[in-house]
Structure 1
Amino acid sequence: MRVLKCADFNPDCTAKEQVVNANPDIAGIGVILGFLCTTCLAFLIAFSVLFLDRYEKIVNFFRKYVVRNTDEYCLEEKPIKYWRSPVFWSKVLSKNLLAFSDTQLLTGISIQFTAMLQHCKLSVYHFRVVTDLAFLTTVTHLLAVVTLRKYFVDNPWINLPRIFFMLGNLALLGYTSYVAYSYDLVELDLSSSLACFFKSERPRLRAAFGGKWAALLIAAIGGHATVIIAMYILSDKVLKKIKDKWWFWIGTIFRTWIIAPAYATYGIVMAGRSLRKTQALGTASVAIEGSETEWGFGQFLPLLLLALPLFAGWESFWEEKNWDKNLFSGSQRPSTVNVMQTPKSPNLHQQSTRDNSVAERTIESSGPSPMGTPRLRSTSHITISPHLTPMSTPRIPVSSPVATSELTPPLPELSPIASPQLTPPVGPPQRPRSPPRFEERLPR
């Protein structure tokens, strides 16, 4: 049973080189530039992060095999500021790359949904444009998944919504690419109405499953599948075991440095060459009635959406820089590796050994209180005045151990095991208060 059909539409499917109505919501200049700029920026950021994460290894490899320098480069020994280190910029750019990927993923799904809803009204030409833009979306997201693989594997449930959207994008891309690259099998051209494809006999999958779209689709599915398997199927024990295998490292190198660059480069070049044959970026391959180069709200919005990832990168930069400033202000800068190992939230319960020992000796010497709480007693000599004026306030002193022992019966001492260990309050020790004036001793 066919899901997509155009029974109410009767276009002329035998005509060739027809005039196509302009559709700026799909092939407008702002829409196409937004997709291209996002993918190109994500490409540059992704390989910058890959380089920064392996900075020491790359420098040592260059020293050893190119300049023949036996001295090993160690970033930890370099006295540089944290915000100038590769670790700092890797963190900032990683968040920026993730924001670009999320933005491109949502816009790619939305434009494919639009094409599926209007499939009977679109031309084959505009449906091809949608497929090219969807490929750019897949390129951007695959770069993010490969570059930030450790983040995705370490946080599977945080990234679960991204995985759902990613699978939806791949499913839509599989169908749209099948239609966009097999229209010639049913004797249609780019100017034909897409309704002719859905009204005719669909080409067999085996005949359509060939060419560049199939290769790109298989590479995209394979790149995403490896990360999904590591996130939700393989356990931590299995991942630790396979990391020591030689084939794991060969697969990692092949995926990171061969598949991802080749797929991204080919996808950008292929989509760029195809999009140059549009009215927005050059000369359209079909005759178009109307303009797709006029600027309006629908053209400014995709470009303004680029500001969201840029804002995320700017915010991430100052968050990392201010954290480094607040954490190490007034102290000597540690190494970059020690910075990364230091927790961001300082321990509020740290105390010196000297303060703890003094407090413990005071508690043990005073003995426990009736409620089981150690009693802190002052050594000052304070008594209660027997004569109180009407406006005066009685003083309730904390007397010395000698006076207290005469007024209250002694309590049995608890064993060291039963005595609770309390942490003394944080702060500088206070001097004991001197006895107030005009006080008298109680009669014994």
Structure 2
Amino acid sequence: MNCTDAPAAVPSDAGIAGIGVLLSFIVTAAIALLISASLVFQEMCNAQKPSILRRKLLNSYSDQQILTGIGIQSVGLAKRSSLVPYHFFLVWMLSLLSMAVHNATLLALARDFRRDWVLRWMRELLMLVNLVLSCTYGIYILRSVQRGINDATFPVECAWRPETRDGAPAGNAAVSYVGTGAVIVGNVVIFALAIWYLHARTRRFYAAVQAVGLVLMAAFAVGATVRVAYLADAFALSTPIRLSDSGEREWSFGQLLSVGMLLLPLATVVEILRGEIKCAPPQSDGDYEGKGRLLGEEEQGEAQELRPGLQTQEHPGFQPSPLSRSVSSLLHKK
């Protein structure tokens, strides 16, 4: 790693910023946000027949998005000694895109996660890992802006090396500071609100929370997509740094595979339609303000017989974890 003499150009990295990789993130985000919006709107209209197929498809796309986001961030951190800030920033934008998609999915599928503590804890763990990685990327970006190498061809790790000569501050350095800091703080706040939403038992302002949250996540996704389209060599006319080749614009096997992965969740939908996989309908998580339930009492009774112990008498749609039950029993033990 050379932190004293910046090369005139750097090779492209199609595995991170290739056209197929970027399109797979963007298209998946668009599909997931549209499905989330349709499910939330259907719930606001008190629809009596919830769509099992759309919920399953949304769940698959959301899982794919957050796992891919965590994976690409891990690869970026592992390559920080060779990855330039240009590619590092693109990875960060893709992670924000995956985070927005997953949070929008929580707004639409919260009932499915509340009724199984394993699914709920797994989601929370993935969200925490994604948050830690995203904040780490934000700190690297802030340090690169501070050292004036955010548009240089030095590896991003050089932002922490004392031998690196500070570059001239960019004209938009103040905006970069404020914007990056605001995104980091916003991610932490949204993570806390998402955890609260998964554990909330009250239904007051439930529809308003869903609508506002969905609009906010859509704005996050659109903002990240615009930044990627503006900077990435696969879409933009020019890049902040000079690339020695055009590998990020070429449709190689890896790029086609990334786009082809978009069809993978559709296989589950076909299996459901053919009757190979049985999916339980979404259950009401308690409507104490008189809002219509998604399932009738007879259907809820059948679901309870199929999956006993998943619902409590006080809050029929929330399953507490065994750990919380044991702690509660110890606290109330006389």
> Would you say same fold, with TM above 0.5?
yes
User: Partner of 1:34 in structure 2?
Assistant: 24
The alpha carbon displacement at 1:308 in A equals 1.9
Q: Does the 8 Å CA contact 1:100/1:309 hold for their aligned counterparts?
A: yes
Q: Does the 8 Å CA contact 1:18/1:192 hold for their aligned counterparts?
A: yes
User: Partner of 1:196 in structure 2?
Assistant: 158
User: Partner of 1:315 in structure 2?
Assistant: 271
- Report the RMSD for the aligned CA atoms in angstroms: 3.4
The alpha carbon displacement at 1:182 in A equals 4.2
Change (3 A) 1:36 1:208: same
Question: Among residues 269, 292, 295, which one is paired with 2:248 in the alignment?
Answer: 292
SS in structure 2 of the partner of residue 211 of structure 1: helix
Take 1:261 and 1:151, find their aligned partners in 2: how far apart are those partners?
Answer: 21
The alpha carbon displacement at 1:318 in A equals 4.6
Pair 1:305 & 2:261 matched? yes
Q: Which has the larger radius of gyration?
A: 1
Q: Does the 8 Å CA contact 2:103/2:217 hold for their aligned counterparts?
A: no
SS in structure 1 of the partner of residue 80 of structure 2: coil
User: Partner of 2:186 in structure 1?
Assistant: 219
The alpha carbon displacement at 1:138 in A equals 0.5
Take 1:124 and 1:209, find their aligned partners in 2: how far apart are those partners?
Answer: 13
Pick which of 36-45 and 265-274 moved more.
265-274
AA aligned to 2:185 is I
SS in structure 1 of the partner of residue 55 of structure 2: helix
Q: What TM-score do the two structures reach when normalised by structure 1?
A: 0.56
Question: Among residues 156, 169, 173, which one is paired with 2:117 in the alignment?
Answer: 156
Gaps of 5+ in 2: 167-173, 281-293, 307-334
AA aligned to 1:112 is Q
Q: Does the 8 Å CA contact 1:46/1:144 hold for their aligned counterparts?
A: yes
User: Partner of 1:266 in structure 2?
Assistant: 220
The alpha carbon displacement at 1:267 in A equals 3.0
The alpha carbon displacement at 1:339 in A equals 8.0
SS in structure 1 of the partner of residue 81 of structure 2: coil
Take 1:323 and 1:278, find their aligned partners in 2: how far apart are those partners?
Answer: 40
The alpha carbon displacement at 1:283 in A equals 2.1
The alpha carbon displacement at 1:136 in A equals 0.8
The alpha carbon displacement at 1:131 in A equals 0.6
Q: For residues 154-178 of structure 1, what are the alpha-carbon distances to aligned partners after superposition, in whole Å with 9 as ceiling and x for unaligned?
A: 2222332232122111100011122
Pair 1:121 & 2:82 matched? yes
Take 1:295 and 1:175, find their aligned partners in 2: how far apart are those partners?
Answer: 31
Q: Does the 8 Å CA contact 2:9/2:243 hold for their aligned counterparts?
A: yes
SS in structure 1 of the partner of residue 10 of structure 2: strand
Q: Does the 8 Å CA contact 1:28/1:299 hold for their aligned counterparts?
A: yes
Pair 1:51 & 2:6 matched? no
Q: Does the 8 Å CA contact 2:73/2:91 hold for their aligned counterparts?
A: yes
AA aligned to 2:302 is P
Which has a greater percent of helix? 2
Pair 1:276 & 2:230 matched? yes
Note the 1:423-434 alignment, pairs <5 A: none
Pair 1:133 & 2:87 matched? no
Q: For this pair of structures, how many residues does the alignment match?
A: 282
Q: Does the 8 Å CA contact 1:19/1:191 hold for their aligned counterparts?
A: no
Change (3 A) 1:122 1:321: closer
User: Partner of 2:289 in structure 1?
Assistant: none
SS in structure 2 of the partner of residue 306 of structure 1: helix
User: Partner of 1:382 in structure 2?
Assistant: none
Gaps of 5+ in 1: 1-8, 57-74, 76-85, 325-334, 348-444
Q: With a CA cutoff of 8 Å and minimum separation of 6, indicate the structure with the bigger relative contact order.
A: 2
Q: Does the 8 Å CA contact 2:97/2:220 hold for their aligned counterparts?
A: no
Q: For residues 8-42 of structure 1, what are the alpha-carbon distances to aligned partners after superposition, in whole Å with 9 as ceiling and x for unaligned?
A: x22336x5x93121111111111111111111111
AA aligned to 1:266 is F
Change (3 A) 1:189 1:209: closer
Change (3 A) 1:159 1:300: farther
The alpha carbon displacement at 1:47 in A equals 0.3
Take 1:273 and 1:311, find their aligned partners in 2: how far apart are those partners?
Answer: 32
Q: Does the 8 Å CA contact 1:92/1:313 hold for their aligned counterparts?
A: yes
SS in structure 2 of the partner of residue 113 of structure 1: helix
Q: What TM-score do the two structures reach when normalised by structure 2?
A: 0.73
The alpha carbon displacement at 1:231 in A equals 4.8
Q: For residues 329-370 of structure 1, what are the alpha-carbon distances to aligned partners after superposition, in whole Å with 9 as ceiling and x for unaligned?
A: xxxxxx9857854737999xxxxxxxxxxxxxxxxxxxxxxx
AA aligned to 1:10 is N
Q: Does the 8 Å CA contact 1:154/1:231 hold for their aligned counterparts?
A: no
Q: For residues 258-278 of structure 1, what are the alpha-carbon distances to aligned partners after superposition, in whole Å with 9 as ceiling and x for unaligned?
A: 233123223323332333322
